[in-house]
Amino acid sequence: LVGDNVLNNYIFGYTVVDSIKLVLDVPSYDYVKLYGATTQRAAIFTKVYYGRSPLVAVKAMQAGMGGLRPAIVILHGLKKIDQLGLLIAQREGVPLAISKIEDVEELVERLRKID
């Protein structure tokens, strides 16, 4: 959706996060743990309906971490793209994609098979 200019960038890992639990249960200062050892990771948000809250969370992470952000944000379970979420991704320079894999377990299984 956003970030065609980074299609050839390397990604050195991923973090799969339940978007609802992240927004409701995780304090914003713990968002940094999404990155692990590097920001060259994919942040994959599951149970997404519109996609706004994960992008607001990413924007909050950037504010709290001096502009650091994931290499790409992938939205899983998206029903309809939120225009504000899309605008946030564009303005913040966050590459954004959608996973069409329906089952979260299948998504994780496929990710684990990537070399």
Once rounded to an integer, what is the mean pLDDT over residues 14-41? 79
Q: Which range is most confident: 29-33, 39-43, 61-65, 86-90?
A: 86-90
Once rounded to an integer, what is the mean pLDDT over residues 3-14? 80
Q: Is the pLDDT of residue 26 over 90?
A: no
In the numeric block, the tokens 């809250």 are attached to 53
CATH classification at residue 38 = 3.40.1390
Counting the structural domains of the chain, the total is: 1
pLDDT band at 1 (very low <50, low <70, confident <90, very high): low
- Number of Cβ within 10 Å of residue 98's Cβ equals 14
In the numeric block, the tokens 């377990």 are attached to 105
In this prediction the pTM is 0.86
| Single-letter amino acid code for the residue at 40 | Q
Q: What's the pLDDT at 79?
A: 87
What percent of the chain has a predicted confidence (pLDDT) above 70? 88
Q: Which domain holds residue 106?
A: 4-112
- Convert 19-57 to b/e letters by CB count within 10 Å (16 or more is b): beebbeeeeeeebeebbeeebebbbbbbebebbbbbbeb
pLDDT single digits (tens) 60-107: 777 666 667 888 999 999 988 899 999 999 998 889 999 999 999 999
Structure tokens at 97: 């994609």
- Spatial neighbors of 97 by CB under 8 A, at least 6 apart, are 1, 3, 72, 73, 74, 75
